[in-house]
Amino acid sequence: MPLNVGLLGGGSWGTTVASLTARNANTTIWARNENTVNEINEHRTNSKYLPGALLNKNLKASASIEETVKNSDVLVMGIPSQNFRTVLETAKAHIRPWIPIVSLSKGLEMGTKKRMTEVIEEILPGHPTGVLTGPNLAKEIHNGQAAAAVIAMVDEVIGKKLQGVFNSGLFRVYTNNDVIGCELGGALKNIMAIATGMGDGANAGDNTRAALITRGLSELTRLGTAMGGRRRTFAGLAGMGDLVATCSSTKSRNRHVGFQLGKGKKLDEIIEEMSEVAEGVKTAKVVMELAQDYNVHMPISEEVYKVLYEDNTVHDAFRGLLKLESGSESEPG
């Protein structure tokens, strides 16, 4: 019998994943906006977030969290990190015992500094938790372009089972049991995407972008391993793969924020014009706290933070990085 998948979140990535799982499982997606729900059910589209994309005919949408999750064998959370806890607490009363809960979020919770799987474990202890992550730009996947992702679960048996739920045609899903590393890779690379976007917006050039990506990988690997992730995870799809895609693509929300900052726009103005959340903006605050907690040197993240929250300019950021003494490539900085 096919599994029942409940997915909370009707944004571009949540809708994309729901359309993919609908090929392999009975899938219901919840969205806050009733117009979005009606559009998915009646026209198989979500024009606000995925213009021109036709969703799988088996996908159903609901405006009721209870209806979406009460019969689910797997719950997928496609909710941005700062709203994740509230939505999960609302759903808690209707979630069946012990079912796996998978996060799509690539952020960290402000205040608690927790990863989303830690939030799940706090609210619903005993449920297997995991994350689906990797270099996944929703619009490309809907256009039929090949992509790869990672389903990370501590329990490898459950991970293998869920691999078959998400794997679909040209969307290839690999397994990994390093949940910490995979989750941190997805969250931390967003800050590096803002940095490379800033460089692109300021016409810094391809060499600068390559340097930021490479040194950014070193930076996120240092913090990720200090927090318990495995080094090789950051060289894979959840680390380097996601970093390259997010730092290079014009479809990346976080790179877009950086690009507009590089052009001289103010952060509030940029955010106001966007229809979706750029997770790296708020994650930058959490990462600075974590870097201090774990005594990890993160100069790129620090300069991004100063641009976002201390009124530094993009040129201040690059001057700050250039002032750093360049030592051995294997050392921090």
Binding residues, by number, are 12-13, 32, 49, 106, 134, 138, 189, 242, 252-254, 277, 279
**Contact indicator for 189, 243 with CB cutoff of 8 Å:** yes
Residue 2 backbone class (left: φ over 0; alpha: ψ -120 to 50; beta: rest): beta
d(CA 247, CA 258): 10
Pairing of strands 26-30, 60-62: parallel
Q: What angle do CA 75, 40, 138 make, to 5 degrees?
A: 65
d(CA 186, CA 104): 9
Residue 6 in 3-state DSSP?
strand
The amino acid at residue 267 is: L
d(CA 70, CA 22): 17
Give binding residues for NADPH as ranges. Answer: 12-13, 32, 49, 106, 138, 253, 277, 279
d(CA 37, CA 64): 10
Q: Which of 113, 189, 263, 265 is catalytic?
A: 189
Query: For this structure, is 189 an active site residue?
Result: yes
CB-based contacts of 321, cutoff 8 Å, min separation 6: 299, 300, 303
State the angle between helix axes of 81-91 and 116-123 in degrees (0 to 180), rounded to the nearest 10: 20
Residue 45 backbone class (left: φ over 0; alpha: ψ -120 to 50; beta: rest): beta
Give the active site residues.
189
